[in-house]
Amino acid sequence: MLKKWIVQRLFGTGGEELEPIPQDETLDGMNLKEVLDAHEAWKTRLLEDLSGKAGKPLDPAVVSSDRQCTLGKWLHGPGRKYVKLPEYQKALQAHADFHVCAAEVVIENRSGNPQRAHELLKTRFRQASNANQLELVRLFSVTRR
């Protein structure tokens, strides 16, 4: 079920909601669906920022930090117990790359390059978002074996 759901999310081939089995939805206090949903919501936040509808503009320094969101706090906290797993290292890197790319979108917009910001959002940010989700699911999966 999880694999099918993540493929649908990555490739936009369905709107099926993930209904995880209760014992499978968390990993050492991290709820997989919640952190995936939170990172998926970044696209909306960035679009609102680009259009000026975000209210308070996003701060690139805050956006670029991979330690402030729920997933970042988990990866740099309780998730460190998996530090020796290659899947953990890939998830950590993909998460950091995701936040750096999101900050690049904000920086391009602030620099007067809204077209470039939109282009980044559609290309590199989408790729970083997909990689972030995929690597997190891989980590989640390998810890379930």
The pLDDT value given to residue 21: 47
Q: For residues 105 and 115, give the distance between their C-alpha atoms in angstroms, rounded to a whole number.
A: 10
The pLDDT value given to residue 106: 97
Cβ atoms within 10 Å, residue 116: 15
CATH architecture of 25-142: Up-down Bundle (1.20)
The residues of the chain scoring below 70 in pLDDT are 1-24, 145
The pLDDT value given to residue 9: 56
The pLDDT value given to residue 62: 95
The residue to which tokens 């995936």 are assigned: 36
Q: What is the pLDDT of residues 35-70, one digit of tens each?
A: 988 988 999 999 999 998 878 889 999 999 999 999
Residue 38 CA to its chain's centroid (Å): 7
Q: For residues 11 and 13, give the distance between their C-alpha atoms in angstroms, rounded to a whole number.
A: 6
**In contact, 129 and 43? CB cutoff 8 Å:** yes
Quickly list H helices, 12-123. Answer: 32-51, 60-63, 70-75, 86-110, 114-122
* The model's pTM: 0.83
